[in-house]
Amino acid sequence: MILPLWLFWDDFRAWEFGAARVLAALVGLGVGVVAGLLAAGLAAGLPALFTGALAAAVFTVVYAVIWFHGVHWLARRTG
């Protein structure tokens, strides 16, 4: 989980300051956490290590998709 967080933080800093990156990061964070918790809840029968790994993987993928598309779309809209 450290590597994805480090990469997301570095990409966050790379964009110029503005509402687009903050909004995309907050929405991605919220939706990613909910999706990760939902995945962990659905896989509750698995051992804890696998459930946590699945939740972390789902969070990473959901956040990355929302961040990439969200920041590009909002940057175009805000100029």
Based on the structure, what is the number of domains in the chain?
A: 1
Per DSSP, the residues of 15-59 read SPSSHHHHHHHHHHHHHHHHHHHHHHHHTTTS-HHHHHHHHHHHH
45: exposed, middle or buried (Cβ count in 10 Å: 0-12, 13-18, 19+):
exposed
Domain that holds residue 74: 2-78
Measure the CA–CA gap between 23 and 16, rounded to whole angstroms: 13
Q: pLDDT by residue for the chain (79 residues), tens digit each?
A: 677 778 788 887 887 777 778 888 899 999 999 999 999 999 999 999 999 999 999 999 999 999 889 888 888 887 6
Measure the CA–CA gap between 71 and 21, rounded to whole angstroms: 6
The pLDDT assigned to 9 comes to 83
